Amino acid sequence: MNAYLGVAPGRTAPGEDGEPGAALRLFCFHHAGAGALAFARWKREFTPEVRVLPVRLPGRETRLREPRITEGARLLAELDTHLGPLLEEAPYAFYGHSLGALVAYRFAQHRQRTGQPGPVLLGLGACPPPHLPTPLTEHRGLSDESLLSALNRYGALPSCLFERPRRLSTLLSTTRDDLHLAASLREGAGERLGCPVHAFAGTEDEAVTAAAVAEWRHYAGGTFALHTVPGGHFFVREAVLPELLAAELRHRTPPQPRHARQGNAAHSATHEPTSARAEAARPTAAEPTAAKPTAAEPTAAEPTAAEPTAEKASTRRG
């Protein structure tokens, strides 16, 4: 089992038993203080042609006893070692949320710099780009009490955590290290990427504004789209986000051999309702979309402020 993956990578070609393989892999990078479980519900939103692979950084969940990584260069080297071979096997896409957006961007940048195939799509959610100020990363050296106050001020902590002091203490320790990692990942960034870039912002996110998220357009050498979705900083747990990504990736998934398509069709029956919703959610300039939000996972975030910008957008109202 790959240490960095929350699930097995799966096959990219049909097996001898006729079981279909995935034509595209979606690697998902979690936000500060979180882990691979942030994407636990995503599989149901995608057809079998797309294999959802949540990435788990050291120092959390099943890797709790491993030291956390706080240096961006070391993390990129680790990802290249552990995930690089999988990226050569089949087309892939990245989605990163908050801290994970920086990880996804820098990993895609690393691949581009080293002449390796890049993602067919880069999704970046709830995160300002590297050139914007991020007040919370400046608080990473604070005491637990001060850091807690800062996180709470920016709406980066679910209220239920205050009733679970032991979990809150672990979260603060993990978040502090993740903020060090975020600060490190911002250094040396700024390169435009050749792949399509889709940025996502929550309409009620008090930590990161839609205007800040829109600034990712400066890092897209080609197609850029801004999506606004209902919810706060933790909209990663809502159904709208994976639906949007599923719709976008369906148009970027390579065609499979006929027998594989037939096998996948049999496995896709339960995905029909979601696929229909996702098709309606594809971003256009004139067609707003809607979906209802779900509960958020307890984690921390990186807030910022930014000048307003405008790009192609899709807006969903609940």
Lowest-confidence segment of 19-23, 193-197, 199-203 by average pLDDT:
19-23
Q: What is the DSSP string of 6-49?
A: SS----SS--TT-----SEEEEEE--TT--GGGGTTGGGGS-TT
Q: What tens digit of pLDDT does each residue of 75-121 get?
A: 999 999 999 999 999 999 999 999 999 999 999 999 999 999 999 99
pLDDT at 258: 53
pLDDT at 54: 98
What's the pLDDT band for 148 if we cut at 50, 70, 90? confident
Q: What is the CATH number of domain 24-315?
A: 3.40.50.1820
pLDDT at 284: 36
Answer whether residue 183 shows pLDDT above 90: yes
Q: What is the DSSP string of 128-189?
A: --TTS--GGGGGTTS-HHHHHHHHHHTT-S-GGGGG-HHHHHHHHHHHHHHHHHHHHHHTT-
What's the pLDDT band for 15 if we cut at 50, 70, 90? low
Most confident of 99-108, 145-154, 185-194: 99-108
CA distance 224 to 216: 8
pLDDT at 256: 62
pLDDT at 217: 98
Lowest-confidence segment of 17-26, 66-75, 168-177, 216-225 by average pLDDT:
17-26
Instruction: State phi, psi for 23 to the nearest 5 degrees.
Output: -85, -15
Average pLDDT over residues 203-225: 95
Sorted by where each begins, the domain ranges of the chain are 24-315
Higher pLDDT, 252 or 309: 252
Answer whether residue 311 shows pLDDT above 50: no
pLDDT at 140: 76
292 phi-psi bin (left φ>0, alpha ψ -120 to 50, beta other): beta
pLDDT at 17: 57
What's the pLDDT band for 166 if we cut at 50, 70, 90? confident
Task: Please tell me whether residue 277 adopts helix, strand or coil conformation.
Answer: helix
Average pLDDT over residues 54-81: 97
CA distance 109 to 129: 13
Average pLDDT over residues 64-85: 97
Count other Cβ atoms within 10 Å, centred on residue 170: 14
CB 317 within 8 A of CB 254: no
pLDDT at 20: 65
Average pLDDT over residues 177-191: 93
What's the pLDDT band for 144 if we cut at 50, 70, 90? confident
pTM for the whole structure: 0.81
Most confident of 154-163, 214-223, 304-313: 214-223
**What's the chain's average pLDDT?**
82
pLDDT at 251: 86
Q: What tens digit of pLDDT does each residue of 248-303 get?
A: 999 898 876 554 444 444 444 444 444 444 443 445 333 333 333 333 334 444 44
